[in-house]
Structure 1
Amino acid sequence: MQLRYPLAPLTLSALFAGPAAAAGLGVNIEIPRLSVSEYHRPYVAAWIERPDNTVATTLAVWYDVRTRANNPEGEGTKWLKDLRQWWRRTGRELSVPIDGVTGATKPAGRHALAFTEGTKPLGQLAPGSYRLVVEAAREVGGREVVTVPFQWPPAKAEQAGAAGKEELGEIKLDLKP
């Protein structure tokens, strides 16, 4: 007796076929090591904005996340407004903490972030021109903003970057179609 499974190849191919690859965006942020007498880790915000300077999405915000009980001077959210550009464009409208976006300040070094289209916080960007914007502000220090223009969705794998002068080092953007 011969068994026939006419749908088996179709069923197996559906079972083992992966989802269509979604576009991706990688961000590398360098926080330089500074030789200063009083060093504080910088607050950092990274977001994507449209050509008209409206915010498409906030990717990351690093700040002092300690609670009032652990920080007698108050909560770190008090100083988020020092990230002036991010604060004026979207920060004051948000309620922090934001799951998957906000986190503690980072030490000097390189920090990598990865985002996939269709997942938070990147979500679905409409095709077009955008800018990755990274802003840093440090207590007893300065403030700096670095922008990296890019096209979405990327037609091919691309890299772009820019460098800060004091509060930020190299900012790299890796785009994956």
Structure 2
Amino acid sequence: MRPSHLLAIGAPLVAGSAAAQTVSVTVPQLKVAEYHRPYVAGWLEPAAGGPARTVFVWYDIKKRGAEPGTKWLADLRSWWRKGGRSLHLPADGVSGATRAPGTYQIPLPKGLAPGAYVLNVEAARETGGRELVRVPITVPRRGGTAKGSTELGTVTVR
């Protein structure tokens, strides 16, 4: 994913300066008869509650016509409820194409206010399942790791 400006949803979480952190997301190779690349969204929320900020969303950005790729974003239910439905897509620096199995690095937004957050990563796949992985982190110092069981592999914040 190319670096660019990130879009905040709701009230901004940006203030002060903090060390840059990186999210590592693994999309596992699944042994299934009919494989479709998953739609995946990642967002940050203050641990104490508050507005969500979308960090990335991978979907079929090239699909057009009667059923554009955005139609299926509602399958990312948690992200959709937390602010995905109000996000104007494609969002510069946030939107990207679906990814093949592998591990991907995504920078967290720069300038996050110091404090406790939860990074949420959700995946949904056609003829597959849906999974949400939550990683508690502290900005600027403490990352974390969580592991999915089906649609997502390891999610790490460093």
TM-score (norm 1): 0.75
On the 8 A contact 1:160/1:172 being kept in 2, the answer is: yes
On the 8 A contact 1:45/1:61 being kept in 2, the answer is: yes
Aligned length: 142
- Structure 1 residue 73, shift from structure 2 partner: 5.4
CA distance in 2, matches of 1:31, 1:131: 20
Higher relative contact order (CA 8 A, sep 6+): 2
CA distance in 1, matches of 2:73, 2:63: 14
On the 8 A contact 2:18/2:110 being kept in 1, the answer is: no
TM-score (norm 2): 0.83
Structure 2, unmatched stretches of 5+, are 1-16
CA distance in 2, matches of 1:140, 1:91: 22
1:59 aligns with 2:55: yes
RMSD: 1.7
In our comparison, the structure showing a higher alpha carbon Rg is 1
CA distance in 1, matches of 2:18, 2:49: 26
1:138 aligns with 2:125: yes
On the 8 A contact 1:54/1:89 being kept in 2, the answer is: no
**Amino acid in structure 2 at the alignment position of 1:39:** Y
CA distance in 1, matches of 2:40, 2:93: 15
Ranges of 4+ aligned residues in structure 1 off by more than 3 Å: 52-56
CA distance in 1, matches of 2:119, 2:25: 11
